[in-house]
Every structure is written in C-alpha cells, then in structure tokens.
Structure 1
Amino acid sequence: MQVRPAYDVDIRTDSARIRRALADAVPRSFWLDDPGRPAAEAPVAGDVDTDLLVIGGGYCGLWTALMAKEAEPGRDVVLIEGEEVGWAASGRNGGFVDASLTHGPENGRRHFADELAALTELGAENFAGLARALLDHDIDAEFEQGGFLAVATEPHQVAALRAQAGENAVLHEGDALASMVRSPLLRAGLFSRERHALAHPAKLAWGLKRACLRLGVRVFEHTAATGVRDDGGAVRVQTPAGRIRARSVALATNGFPSLLRRNRLMTLPVYDYVLMTEPLSAAQLSDIGWTGRFGISDAGRQFHYYRKSADNRILWGGYDAVYHRGGAVRPEYDQRPETFARLADHFLRTFPQLEDVRFTHAWGGMIDMSTRLNAFHGTAMGGRLAYSSGFTGLGVAATRFAAAVMIDLLAGADTSRTRLRMVRRKPLPIPPEPLRYPAVQLIRGAIARADRNGGRDGLVLRAANAFGFSFDS
C-alpha cells in the first residue's frame, strides 16, 4: 500500500512563511558570491600553438592542466574557458567530496561488479591524492574530512541502511541519531567517516587555477571553443578570436554540447537547485543537534543533500532534477521559483526548530548525467584528443581521476586506469528528441512512485534497469 512520504511535491508549509524565508535570497551561487573571486585572465587573441590544449575551466580541465604540467614541466599547456574558471557546476555544487568513482558501491556493483574492488582502491588513492595536492599547492578550499551521514526518512530506508552497516559505517537510531542531528522526519542515519569530505567549491576551482598559473599553464578565459578538427598530425580548435593548434587536446566540457558529435547523446543536461541559509548561531545549531562537521543526504531516490559552510550556514539542495525540452542550457533556467519554494518547504519540515531562518542565496545550474551515473572516457582523432564526461553530480573528486585517465590516454599508456572497463566501454546513449523529453518525464514519475511504494521499482524502472539504464534524482 502506498503511503504519503516524508517529502513530496505538495507544499505543506504555510505559504507566507515560505515567502518570508525566501524574501531576501539573491539569485546567485553563494560560493561564487565571494570577494576573493579572482580576476579573469585575458581571452585568446590571434593564433596559438601548444603541446596540450585543455578545453574547459571546471574541475576536470583544471586538474588535467595541473597534473599534465606537473608530470612534464617543459610541456607547453594551454587551458581555455568560455566564461570564467569555475563559473558553472564547479562553482555551484554542494561541495561534497566523495572517493567513489562509481556513484556509490551499489551502482558500482551493477555496472562494474568484477572491477569494484579495483575501482574502490583507485578511488581511495585519488581521494588521498586530492587532499595532498591541496596541501602541496597551498589551496585553501575549506577542506574538511568530517564524514558523511546518510539518513532515512521512510521505514524501508531504515532497513536499507541497516544492511549497509559495517566496520566503516555505523548505524545510529533513537538517541544516538539525535546526538548527531535532530529532526522529526529522520528515522535512522548511517555514518561513514572515511573517504568523505566537504569543500568550498569555488575556492577549490580558483585555487587550482592559481596553481596552474604558478606552474606556467597559459590560461585564457572568455574564450569559447567553437569547433575542433584534425589538422594533419595535430588538432585545430577554433575560437571567436583566433585558432589554436595543439599536438593533443583534452576535452573537459562535460554537460555542455560536446564538440564531438559522437558524444552528444551520451549525456543529459539536468538542472539542480540549492538554497543557502543565513549563518546560524550556536543556539540554533544546538536546537537541531547538528554540531559536527559532516555532510548529510537522505536515502530516497529523490533526495536532498545538506551541509554546513565554514560560517555555519546550511546549504540545502537536491530533490528536483529538471530536464528542459531539447536539452536547452540557458541562464534563465538557473532560477526556478517553484523548486525554491519546495526546497524551503522541505527544509522547514525537516528542521521546524529553525522556523525563523531566512535564506540568503537561491541558485541552480546544469550538471551532466550519463545513463550509468558515472563518467565515461575515450579518444578521437587518432588518439590526439581525449575526453571525459558524465559525472552525474559526483565529480568533485572523480574529475581528478578523469584527468589522470585523459593524460594516460593521450600518452598511449597502458595503466591500471586505462585497462578499466569504465574507460574502455561507454554507457548506453540517451534517446534523442523528440523521444528524450517524454522519456525523462516518464522516469521521473516512476522514481517518485517508487519512493511512495516502499522503494520498490515499478514496471517502468524495472524495464529501464533491464536495459542497463541507471537513474537518480
């Protein structure tokens, strides 16, 4: 029998209360709204020749440029970004740093069961390498390894969390859960300390940019790549103000339409939305019992993620995942009042102790989704161009691993990374329009029904799973 879940699309909080909470929220990312935001580098003007060109100034591109320059200091490396470094998903995300390369162990078992042990080890090595790199390059990204709490809001989720408890994941219920966080909607929590961290997303991107510049990477912002083609043993990339000829290219544009036509059906641009509260007092944090420095996510298929900032604001995001017809990516989609109202409603129901809290920022942005919920990799143009894409909202750490994969692929190296089936095989493509939009809406409805039905997949999700498609909100 279906029961009404703790969270749903119907708003239950008084509308006047929601309006008050959102009244002062500015329509931009809290992370990017920072006085320490660096000035943009000049755009390309004229023709440029280089050994390695990196296209894209998010985490994936920045890690690629940095690691390539570290490996070969004499190599000329150029990075171009169509807007400013970190302006898109890398400066708008929740700042959860997870070691998983497979979007969690369950999804990893589904797609890479025979490789899961190797992928887990590589993910742990990559996570540790990221932490070391922040120290080596003096990057103050507000990096905190405080752990992660997965919380159940429905009875079936409690059973699922119990099944996952073990040596490195401790189940908390009753008073034990209340000692970590107090909410009338939370039934249980599974706490994991290892291989989870929080970071300031924009400061991470800006710190990587500064590290690249210090090592001699040439960075050009406001320089969009408008075309790419083979150019007789090199790759020619066209920009509005000139062309770049590179002996190799790393393509790290992720959710934006790929410069390689073959990859345009491999990702789906999905919009995710976030609220940020005003700073909370010590008394307010005590009221909700959340005094630790760990991140939280609830265990539903349509889930929320929440964490505290360095100044004790609460970031509250997720639940709605919105695909716009035709795969359009537009600035006006960064704001969605109906989603902000729903998020505020869910927040106030989760923490009724904070009924007078106001939100200072409300924003959204596009992330890239693949049908197996993790990144895919490959080469084109005779191995002179490598690409990685499809991180599906779990790319803060995984983009660093993808950078290492692209560097290996461009070198033609046989490594533990390039031998992975994750690297050698692609996810299933996403149907093109006009089929794509109704298919996405069908799946979204099926996910919501599964949450209402004790987590049990209906016919639509069972059929999708049988074909090898993975889905999440």
Structure 2
Amino acid sequence: MHPAKAAQGLADVVVARGARLHEGTRVRSIEPRVVRTDHGTVRARHVVRATEAWTSQAPGSRREVVPVYSLVVATEPLPAHVLDEVGLAQGETFSEHRNVIVYGQRTADGRIVFGGRGAPYHWRSAIEPRFDEEPRVFAAIERYLHQMLPATAPYAITHRWGGPLGIARDWHAAVRHDPATGLASAGGYVGDGVTTTNLAGRTLADLLTGADTELTRLPWVGHRSPRWEPEPARWLGVNAGLQVARAADAVEQRTGRVTPLSRVLARLTGH
C-alpha cells in the first residue's frame, strides 16, 4: 500500500462526512476536554492525542516516547527478470533478523524500497527536518541492500527519505481512554504504524462510544509504558544501544552465531 495516499484518502472521507481539519495549527497544551492552540481554544467531549514521535515535543510528555529515525531508499524501476531473480516478482516484503533492523518491499512500478534504522538519537528528543537525511546511514542502507540482493547493485538509487518513529520504553504500543477526563491517546508503534494505526483508530472509536467489543478488550487497551530516563541518561542509553546493536550484528555476521551482545541489547531496550 501507499501510506501517503492512504492518509489522504482517509482525510477525504472524514471531511466528506463533516469533519474539519486544521493543519499547521500548533497545540500548546492538552487538558481534560480542552486543547489550547496558537489560534484559540478548542473544547470537546473527547480529546485524542495521536502524535506518535512528536509526543516527545509536548510539555509534560517528553519522556513518554523517544523519536528514533528510520531512513529509506528506493531504486529505479527494475527489469522483470531482476525482480524474479531476487524473489520479489509477486510483490513480497522482506526483512532480516539483525539487531539494526532492515526491511524492504517491491513497489507497484517495479522499484525496491529498502530501509532501516541506524541514525543517532538526538539530544532531548529533538526532531528537525534535517535529521531526515543522514548520508552515512543512507550509504549503509544501500550497502545492506546490495549485500542482500546483489542483482540490484547496477541500478540507481533514485529516492532517499526518512522520519522519526515513536518508541515507548517497553516497545509496547498502547490505546488509552479516560471517560472521566475525556482524554484519549494511541501510539508507540515503533515503525509499524501504517497498519497498526488503523486498528488503534477502530479501537478508539469503540472506546469513545462506550462499546464493549473484542477490540476494547485487547491487551494494549489501557497499557502504560514506563517513562524514559531523563537526560543525559536517555541520550547515552539510546545511542549506546545503537552501538551495541551494530557490534552484535558484526559479530553474528562473522561467526554465524548469536552473541551475548544481543542479550545486553535486550536488557537495554527492556524487551
């Protein structure tokens, strides 16, 4: 699927049903049944916060998630025989069980989109457009792609982009609603939000309307993750975890065996 087209299509549907969208409006605070913005105050029976990585920018919420960047590249359209050779003729998706995650899939027009982690965590959970581009990480992602699928090496990389993910301290997504205050939230998808947000939205709809369904009884409903450590422990811990992950991948690639470094990483990430 095409995530941007899915989001635009959803927006078109809700606007057609009477919803109003106010893009580019900075929210200063969220309170029970109240949202205060640069352009005025909004009052509502329910206030749903669904800000994912940007939750870390809100006052009082800096330690709820950390924004960790995932970067992506895309090849030029590949000949059918190359897609068949690498096993992607039918649009399969793929990944590799390394600690520094990589993932990919074929697009409708025959490209391979391939991405991964590896960008550093920025001090105090900073999010800036320039962080979407890390030449060193893009180079590593391209190198991993050509290692996994050597047949792609002769073809050009035509697109590079990225953005921050929202990661909870226990890597556990959550959907919450407090009927007493009208406050609700969903997030912590750790990069799996394209599909998980759809389930979260349907779950929130049932919670807000008071329905008792299979969705409202899912384990993530009401879950609360521990808060991330304050700085500088957060910066040191997240970036140390990244270095441990890289070291573990290097050892495991060389030896073909799981290294104790992977167990250290599991303790650092809490899962």
**TM-score of the two chains, using structure 2 as the length reference:** 0.87
Shift of 1:290: 3.0
Secondary structure (helix, strand or coil) at the match of 1:226 reads: strand
Q: Describe the superposition over 1:366-385 as per-residue Cα deviations: whole angstroms up to 9, x where unpaired.
A: 11111332311223582311
Q: Partner of 2:265 in structure 1?
A: 461
Are 1:418 and 1:424, in contact at CA under 8 Å, matched by a contact in 2? no
Secondary structure (helix, strand or coil) at the match of 2:228 reads: coil
Shift of 1:216: 1.8
Equivalent runs, 1:82-101 vs 2, <5 Å: none
Q: Pick closer, same or farther for the CA change 1:391–1:278 going to 2, 3 Å.
A: same
Q: Partner of 2:19 in structure 1?
A: 217
Give the counterpart letter for 2:222 in structure 1.
R
- Partners of 2:266 and 2:9 lie apart in 1 by 44
Q: Partner of 2:50 in structure 1?
A: 252
Q: Which of 333, 339, 343 is 2:131 aligned to?
A: 333
Q: Which of 234, 237, 247 is 1:449 aligned to?
A: 247
Give the counterpart letter for 1:398 in structure 2.
T
- Partners of 1:346 and 1:463 lie apart in 2 by 26
Are 1:227 and 1:259, in contact at CA under 8 Å, matched by a contact in 2? no
- Partners of 2:178 and 2:76 lie apart in 1 by 47
Shift of 1:289: 4.4
Shift of 1:405: 2.7
Whether 1:348 and 2:138 are equivalent positions in the alignment is: no
Q: Pick closer, same or farther for the CA change 1:289–1:385 going to 2, 3 Å.
A: closer
Whether 1:395 and 2:200 are equivalent positions in the alignment is: no
Q: Could you say what the CA RMSD is over the residues aligned between the two structures, in angstroms?
A: 2.3
- Partners of 1:421 and 1:275 lie apart in 2 by 34
Secondary structure (helix, strand or coil) at the match of 2:220 reads: helix
- Partners of 1:220 and 1:202 lie apart in 2 by 18
Q: Pick closer, same or farther for the CA change 1:422–1:249 going to 2, 3 Å.
A: same
Q: Pick closer, same or farther for the CA change 1:245–1:259 going to 2, 3 Å.
A: farther
Q: Partner of 1:404 in structure 2?
A: 202
Q: Pick closer, same or farther for the CA change 1:259–1:353 going to 2, 3 Å.
A: closer
Higher relative contact order (CA 8 A, sep 6+): 1
Give the counterpart letter for 1:226 in structure 2.
R
Q: Describe the superposition over 1:330-373 as per-residue Cα deviations: whole angstroms up to 9, x where unpaired.
A: 01101111111111222222333233211111111111111332
Equivalent runs, 1:41-440 vs 2, <5 Å: 199-230=1-32, 235-257=33-55, 263-379=61-177, 382-440=180-238
Q: Pick closer, same or farther for the CA change 1:216–1:375 going to 2, 3 Å.
A: same
Shift of 1:215: 1.7
Q: Describe the superposition over 1:29-82 as per-residue Cα deviations: whole angstroms up to 9, x where unpaired.
A: xxxxxxxxxxxxxxxxxxxxxxxxxxxxxxxxxxxxxxxxxxxxxxxxxxxxxx
- Partners of 1:403 and 1:448 lie apart in 2 by 35
Q: Pick closer, same or farther for the CA change 1:248–1:291 going to 2, 3 Å.
A: same
Q: Partner of 1:192 in structure 2?
A: none
Q: Pick closer, same or farther for the CA change 1:259–1:346 going to 2, 3 Å.
A: closer
Shift of 1:226: 2.0
Give the counterpart letter for 2:258 in structure 1.
G
- Give the number of equivalent residue pairs: 265
- Partners of 1:314 and 1:208 lie apart in 2 by 26
Are 2:34 and 2:47, in contact at CA under 8 Å, matched by a contact in 1? no
- Partners of 2:60 and 2:176 lie apart in 1 by 11
- Partners of 1:265 and 1:337 lie apart in 2 by 28
Q: Pick closer, same or farther for the CA change 1:215–1:320 going to 2, 3 Å.
A: same
Are 1:228 and 1:259, in contact at CA under 8 Å, matched by a contact in 2? no
Q: Pick closer, same or farther for the CA change 1:336–1:457 going to 2, 3 Å.
A: same
- Partners of 1:277 and 1:379 lie apart in 2 by 42
Shift of 1:244: 1.6
User: Highest Rg: 1 or 2?
Assistant: 1
Structure 1 unpaired stretches of 5+: 1-198
Are 1:269 and 1:368, in contact at CA under 8 Å, matched by a contact in 2? yes
Shift of 1:270: 0.4
Are 1:305 and 1:316, in contact at CA under 8 Å, matched by a contact in 2? yes
- Partners of 2:218 and 2:83 lie apart in 1 by 44
Q: Pick closer, same or farther for the CA change 1:437–1:264 going to 2, 3 Å.
A: same
